[in-house]
């Protein structure tokens, strides 16, 4: 077995083999999907003797799992489609999209700005100047407190006092500038002696103070009334020791 293996190896080294393949085209009279016949044979050249050895041509077996070859696949029945494609004009999609984008940008640039965005102060002057002026004048006057020519004290009305006093005092520092009478104003500001008070004189508001209204602050009593008050040197307050 060892000698036979060596001789076969030596023989394969001394000969060069190749395979030639030939195709037999299907006949025109045959079926449309007729396969080409493939034949193959082996040719070897002996380097020792110089002879060319050719084997007989054998037909390559077809693979039954492969689909049948169609020699006319991809071919049109006539030249009409080819002529249509030649006569068709194609449009560059990228250039068209760029042109549309440039047109949109140009439209955005040319879009006229509204008056509110371009000249907001002009718009405010035309539409809202009178409204703001009326509100400022209303605030300088008695505003919502005036009703049918009379301005009753808001605290008296809230407490449902039968004979409500006229409200002529208002505070510039309180959150709600109600018009109150003298007594209600002092009661509100008993713990707020530094607020700025204004008084309505029939035409306009004039500045006054809680001292002029009669507010007296008694120190060291936690906001309560002193049972034995003593007057100070100044009339601004009463001190209790």
Same domain for 154 and 201, yes or no, is: yes
Burial of 193 (0-12, 13-18, 19+ CB in 10 A): middle
Q: What is the pLDDT of residues 214-223, one digit of tens each?
A: 888 888 877 7
- Three-class SS state of 164: coil
pTM beyond 0.85: no
Weakest mean pLDDT among 113-117, 118-122, 186-190: 113-117
Comparing 175 with 69, which gets the higher pLDDT?
Answer: 175
Any domain includes 217:
no
Same domain for 120 and 160, yes or no, is: no
Say if residues 151 and 201 touch (Cβ distance below 8 Å): no
Same domain for 168 and 200, yes or no, is: yes
Average pLDDT of the chain to the nearest whole number = 77
Any domain includes 69:
no
Strand partners, 152: 166
Any domain includes 121:
yes
Q: What is the pLDDT of residues 132-164, one digit of tens each?
A: 998 888 888 887 777 666 788 989 988 998 888
| Residues of the domain holding 125 | 115-144
Q: Taking 80 as the threshold, does the pLDDT of residue 65 lie above it?
A: no
User: What percent of the chain has a predicted confidence (pLDDT) above 70?
Assistant: 73
pLDDT of residue 239: 40
Q: What is the pLDDT of residues 173-183, one digit of tens each?
A: 999 888 999 99
Any domain includes 89:
no
Any domain includes 129:
yes
3-state secondary structure 32-75: CCCCCEEEEEEEEEECCCCCEEECCCEECCCCCCCCCCCCCCCC
Any domain includes 224:
no
Any domain includes 231:
no
Any domain includes 58:
no
pLDDT of residue 91: 66
The total number of structural domains that make up the chain: 2
pLDDT of residue 174: 92
Same domain for 132 and 182, yes or no, is: no
Same domain for 184 and 154, yes or no, is: yes
């Amino acid at each position: 077995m060892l000698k036979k293996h060596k001789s076969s190896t030596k023989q394969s080294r001394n000969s060069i083999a190749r395979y030639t393949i030939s195709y037999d085209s299907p006949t025109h009279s045959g079926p449309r999907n007729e396969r080409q016949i493939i034949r193959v044979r082996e040719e070897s050249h002996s380097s020792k003797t110089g002879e060319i050895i050719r084997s007989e041509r054998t037909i390559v077996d077809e693979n039954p799992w492969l689909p049948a070859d169609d020699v006319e696949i991809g071919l049109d029945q006539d030249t009409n489609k080819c002529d249509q494609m030649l006569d068709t004009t194609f449009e560059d999609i990228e250039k068209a999209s760029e042109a549309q984008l440039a047109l949109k940008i140009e439209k955005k640039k040319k879009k006229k700005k509204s008056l509110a965005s371009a000249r907001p102060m002009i718009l405010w002057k035309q539409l809202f100047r009178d409204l703001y002026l009326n509100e400022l004048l209303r605030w300088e006057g008695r505003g919502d407190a005036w009703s049918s020519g009379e301005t009753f004290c808001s605290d008296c009305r809230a407490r449902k006092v039968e004979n409500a006093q006229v409200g002529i005092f208002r505070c510039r520092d309180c959150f709600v500038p109600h018009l109150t009478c003298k007594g209600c104003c002092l009661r509100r500001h008993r713990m707020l002696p530094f607020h700025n008070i204004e008084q309505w004189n029939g035409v306009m508001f004039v500045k006054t103070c809680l001292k002029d209204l009669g507010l007296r602050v008694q120190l060291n009593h936690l906001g309560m009334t002193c049972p034995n008050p003593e007057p100070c040197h100044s009339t601004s307050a009463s001190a209790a020791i």
